[in-house]
Chain A
């Protein structure tokens, strides 16, 4: 059972992701902004196997979360899922240590494969 944190302010995306990642294999927590995400991460002592995050969100953007996560002693793999088409922005994400980037609208199979791959790499 892998624990995944989804940070996303769109109301529909979490519902979709929850279907793509079967509940039997993944425990999915969802928060809808940067502040909740940081609170959640601190409350659970960064106990997640994977984070899926958007970039543009209220309170704290995806970059800030990335930076916090990647500065932990045990960096959690991060997938950015965003509709950003701006190359600079994507590069910025990778510079901060993002492990993968998916552009919205996503292909369900693609998300599943990448999640699996990242989880495999880290176990």
Chain B
């Protein structure tokens, strides 16, 4: 009886489906789709969790082994203590054969771990870690990724090569710096700066699309941490580059390297029509403490938009030559904009060495609001 019903079941459904209006037919199809979909989702969740669990478990065994090997063979290598250059230190690779290095995931884990070590330590020890990477032929894996058709693999490879300071032929990397994929392009440029033996800064000349803030963070890190990179005079791009983001980035580098040779170019940049760039230039002059530019800044002050004016006031505070106390005082007392008054007050306080009298006088005579601003700026507990 039950069997009969069971075998009749599909045919009943079929007949319902045939005779149903369209909406019901669609609904019936979708019920099947939804149930299958849900089942598939369950399966995928379980599978991905299981895989993740397996990976974690394998890594939890492998990573301590890798760490111990690296510590024994690289960090406590007896030659390391005697400051023998890394290139002349023979590495004992035999113990590494214990690792399952025939497996790609294990090789990847080892590469990542070497990079992780190198993020914490540099110098001779860092170089020896790099030698380990090369001698275990992990670089071949990376190069294979470079040839992959998937762009994210290429990016990953470029990141690995840059982190390990591996040189790559210009022919491999230059085409990628013009890739249509933005991320790949950026990664290739970063790698080029870090690894190219010829002019690393060449791409500043040719880049036309804006450097994103994130790119600047990466570039800044690469440029300031690469050993043996020849730092050019950034005035070259500040003067000639048509790419505003390159100019603004170069200004930051000029500040970092305290590159006073670039000052004339920066002063010339004050004439630019782009007021954001002008503000950056003023900021840079302040941070470099270029006292010669002070008078010009004061001269152009009245014709500037608000944010440039604020930058000028800040710059005078940073330069703190004491030559423009009266200007700051006037701005503090008579400006109608609150932010200008506050910036003027801050700069006065920074010029305290010369402005002590003026500040005392202002403290005694200011309106309650101005007094509050002054006290705010003089309070060492308040940072901004």
Query: Which A residues are within 8 Å of any B CB, using their own CB?
Result: 10, 12-13, 15-16, 19, 83, 85, 104-110
Contact = CB atoms under 8 A, between A and B. Distances in A.
Interface string B80-95: 1001000000000000
B123 A108 contact: yes
Contact of B120 (A12, A85, A109, A110): A12
B24 interface: no
Nearest to A81: B120
9 closest residue pairs by CB, A with B: A105-B122, A107-B123, A19-B75, A13-B120, A105-B121, A16-B121, A105-B120, A19-B76, A108-B125
B55 to A, nearest CB: 17
Interface in B243-283: none
A13 B75 CA distance: 12
Given A105-B122, A109-B83, 7 more contacts: A12-B113, A19-B76, A85-B221, A85-B224, A105-B120, A105-B126, A106-B122
A109 B116 contact: no
Interface in B233-251: none
Contacts of B118: 105
Given A12-B117, A85-B221, A109 B123 contact: yes
B134 to A, nearest CB: 19
B76 A104 contact: no
Contacts of B75: 15-16, 19
A15 B83 CA distance: 20
A10 B121 CA distance: 12
Contact of A16 (B83, B117, B221): B117
Contacts of B224: 85
Interface in B120-175: 120-126
B220 to A, nearest CB: 8
Interface of B: 67, 71, 75-76, 80, 83, 113, 116-126, 221, 224
28 contacts: A10-B120, A12-B67, A12-B113, A12-B116, A12-B117, A12-B120, A13-B120, A15-B71, A16-B117, A16-B120, A16-B121, A16-B125, A19-B75, A19-B76, A83-B119, A85-B224, A104-B120, A105-B118, A106-B121, A106-B122, A107-B121, A108-B80, A108-B121, A108-B123, A108-B124, A108-B125, A109-B83, A109-B123
Contacts of A15: 67, 71, 75
A83 B123 CA distance: 16
Given A19-B71, A19-B75, A107 B120 contact: no
Contact of A107 (B80, B113, B122): B122
B188 to A, nearest CB: 24
A16 B128 CA distance: 14
Contacts of A106: 120-122
A29 to B, nearest CB: 18
A110 to B, nearest CB: 8
Contacts of B76: 19
A8 to B, nearest CB: 9
A39 B49 CA distance: 36
A107 B126 CA distance: 9
A80 to B, nearest CB: 14
A85 B122 CA distance: 16
Contacts of A19: 71, 75-76
Given A15-B71, A19-B71, A19-B76, A105 B119 contact: yes
A15 B66 CA distance: 12
A50 B202 CA distance: 46
Contacts of B113: 12
Given A16-B75, A19-B75, A85-B221, A104 B117 contact: no
A88 B84 CA distance: 37
A13 B120 CA distance: 6
Contacts of A104: 119-120
Chain A CB within 10 Å — which of B121, B124, B221 has the most? B121
